[in-house]
Amino acid sequence: MSRFLTHHAAALPSTVPFTGPETLERRQGRAFRARLGANESLFGPSPRALAAMQAAAAEVWKYADPENHDLKQALARHHGCKPENIVVGGGIDTMLGLLCRLTLEPGTPVVTSLGAYPTFNFHVAGYGGALTRVPYAGRHEDPAALLAAAGAQTARLLYLANPDNPMGSHHPGRVIEDLVANLPPETLLLLDEAYADLAPPEAIPAIAADHPQVIRFRTFSKGYGMAGARVGYAIAEPGLALAFDKVRDHFGMGRIGQIGALEALRDQDWLAQIRRNIEAGRDRMGRIARANGLEPLPSATNFVTIDTGRDGDFARAVLAGCQERGLFIRMPGVAPLDRCLRISLGPEAALDVVEEILPQALRAAGG
């Protein structure tokens, strides 16, 4: 360990929230037949966005616009707010890290759900926040319990994903609106809406962009199919949005991703087609699950979480069996959610691999 690290940094574990499929492929010495574990869009980006990125590659010698001006203007029009409400960054993960840097000091109370998106926890730990984790209520994050914990802990930050990862569930927008209306005055709600582009309209709450206690995170990684371009954004009141300029990497956005996102946003017809593809994929994944005696949970995302009806050890055995046979999927990491498998959706050929391999892995695990 380097002697130049701070005491806090030296004490942190050398871990990352997720093991990438590339790492697993290197360990196995072969590629996966189907990559359905990272909730990427196998349907890919809009052809218009792809053409724009291909054209932009010839000018990759240029830095991206450090102000993200055109993209911020377009996002403001898309969401009916002001450009001053928009922050653009390298994916939601990067923006969560910047938000933690802006708001946390060692010991600052933070509330999240036990089993929710672990990258947020990773950033909280990195800046020394004191994390309280509230159990899920069945298949859903528990807004009432989160709110109670935030009040009891005088939490600076409260993290909630809607729709949820890893369960794929969602709360109606009115539930989130009620949570916002009852936030303790010292608490900022981090509303992760990574899957909002794929969710039913009733899942999206009506929250003013200028609300002083809410920051909403969105991404081009899911519905828009640009996970590798790393383009995310946030909607926040102008004072908080402006604060990101204090700490962000001003040349952190890649020019190709920036231009591709702008064109993807213009092509809403493609996003509508992706929603239809995802709906068809949910239906087929449900049939595959039920044919194997498993329960597919309702999903508002581009993945389906499948309840094995057993425990975490059984689900891990099935997961390992899928991986050994060439199918990359994931599962929740915390009991009792770890009884489930989480499988991203994709074209028919990818789901054919699931239909072939899942029953083999179940039999090998004793299911």
8 Å CB contact between 203 and 163: yes
Q: What is the predicted pLDDT for the residue at 233?
A: 98
Q: What is the predicted pLDDT for the residue at 15?
A: 82
- Tell me whether residue 170 is exposed, middle or buried, using C-beta atoms within 10 angstroms of its C-beta: 0 to 12, 13 to 18, 19 or more: buried
Query: Helix, strand or coil for residue 151?
Result: helix
Instruction: For residue 93, list its beta bridge partners.
Output: none
For the beta carbon of residue 213, count every other beta carbon within 10 angstroms. 17
Q: What is the predicted pLDDT for the residue at 17?
A: 82
Query: What are the residue ranges spanned by the domains of the chain?
Result: 19-44+269-364, 47-266
* Residue stretches of the chain with pLDDT short of 70: none
Question: CATH topology of 19-44+269-364 equal to that of 47-266?
Answer: no
Q: What is the predicted pLDDT for the residue at 367?
A: 73
Q: What is the predicted pLDDT for the residue at 173?
A: 98
How far is residue 336's CA from residue 311's CA, in Å, rounded to a whole number?
7
pTM of the full structure: 0.96
CATH T-level fold of 19-44+269-364: Aspartate Aminotransferase, domain 1 (3.90.1150)
Query: Helix, strand or coil for residue 202?
Result: helix
CATH for 47-266? 3.40.640.10
Q: What is the predicted pLDDT for the residue at 321?
A: 98
Q: What is the predicted pLDDT for the residue at 14?
A: 87
Q: What is the predicted pLDDT for the residue at 2?
A: 86
How far is residue 330's CA from residue 19's CA, in Å, rounded to a whole number?
10
Name the nearest CA neighbour of 216 among 200, 228, 232, 231. 232
Q: What share of the chain is helix, strand, coil (3-state, %, to 5)?
A: 45, 15, 40
